[in-house]
Amino acid sequence: MKTKRSMLALVMVMVLSLVLAACGSASTKNSFENSDIETITSTPETASSDASAAPSEEPDDTSKGSNILIAYFSHTGNTEQVAQEIAEYTGGDLAEIQRAEEYGDLQEEAEAEILDGTRPDITVSVENITDYDTVFVGYPIWWDEAPAMIATFLADNDFSGKTIIPFCTSASDDIGNSLHIFSELCPDAEIAEGLTANDLNDIEPWLQELGIIG
């Protein structure tokens, strides 16, 4: 009888050990499962947002940027900064317009050039301007007009069938009064809505409205 009880106790101990072992392995499995769930929950979010952003944006950037030129004249750097922002948003190429000869007396000579319709010689840091279908043209407002170098740039190149997008920086005037040279010198180009870009925050919504970026 005593032996029977001992056997029974031994069997119960073994059964109990098995049950405890099973619980232990289940809780270990759960903790892996939980950490797997955490990993899976965060990974697809990151992966799917990366995956949805990368393939859809990459071809757009490439196809758009390869066809966009951002040409600008800048005397003290403000317009250049705007041009660089536009290049970052669009992936377009930058081209700096410079006067071939520096001004002697800027105030006198620059105003006289604009009033007389003089077209001073310029250099442009890109040769194949007409390979681009969309050309941003940026400049500072001088006496409520575009500097004469912009007139040279527009007159020297054939923009027929292309889209020109003017932008400027200024102390206070907006771009409106300066825009007449675009239709005068490039009658066969489409002139898109220009921007007075004195606030860099205006650039992105303007590009979106134009349909240049999404």
Length of the chain: 214
Alpha-carbon span 126 to 119, nearest angstrom:
19
- Examine residue 170 and tell whether it contacts ligand FMN (CB under 6 A): yes
Q: State which of residues 143, 179, 191, 210 lies at the interface with ligand FMN (CB under 6 A).
A: 143
- Examine residue 200 and tell whether it contacts ligand FMN (CB under 6 A): no
- Examine residue 109 and tell whether it contacts ligand FMN (CB under 6 A): no
Sign of CA dihedral 137, 84, 211, 61: positive
- Examine residue 169 and tell whether it contacts ligand FMN (CB under 6 A): yes
Residue 94, H or E segment: strand 93-99
- Examine residue 142 and tell whether it contacts ligand FMN (CB under 6 A): yes
Query: Which residue type occupies 184?
Result: E
Query: Which residue type occupies 13?
Result: V
Q: State which of residues 133, 144, 190, 193 lies at the interface with ligand FMN (CB under 6 A).
A: 144
74: left (phi over 0), alpha (psi -120 to 50) or beta: beta
Alpha-carbon span 170 to 151, nearest angstrom:
18
State the minimum distance, in angstroms, from the CB of residue 87 to ligand FMN: 15
Structure tokens at 117: 């319709």
- Examine residue 110 and tell whether it contacts ligand FMN (CB under 6 A): yes
State the minimum distance, in angstroms, from the CB of residue 164 to ligand FMN: 18
Scanning 42-50, 63-71, 89-97, 168-176 for contacts with ligand FMN by CB under 6 A, the matching segment is 168-176
Alpha-carbon span 106 to 101, nearest angstrom:
12
**Residues 67-106, mask of contacts with ligand FMN (x by CB under 6 A):** -------xxxxxxx-------------------------x
Binding site for ligand FMN (CB under 6 A): 74-80, 106-107, 110, 140-144, 169-173
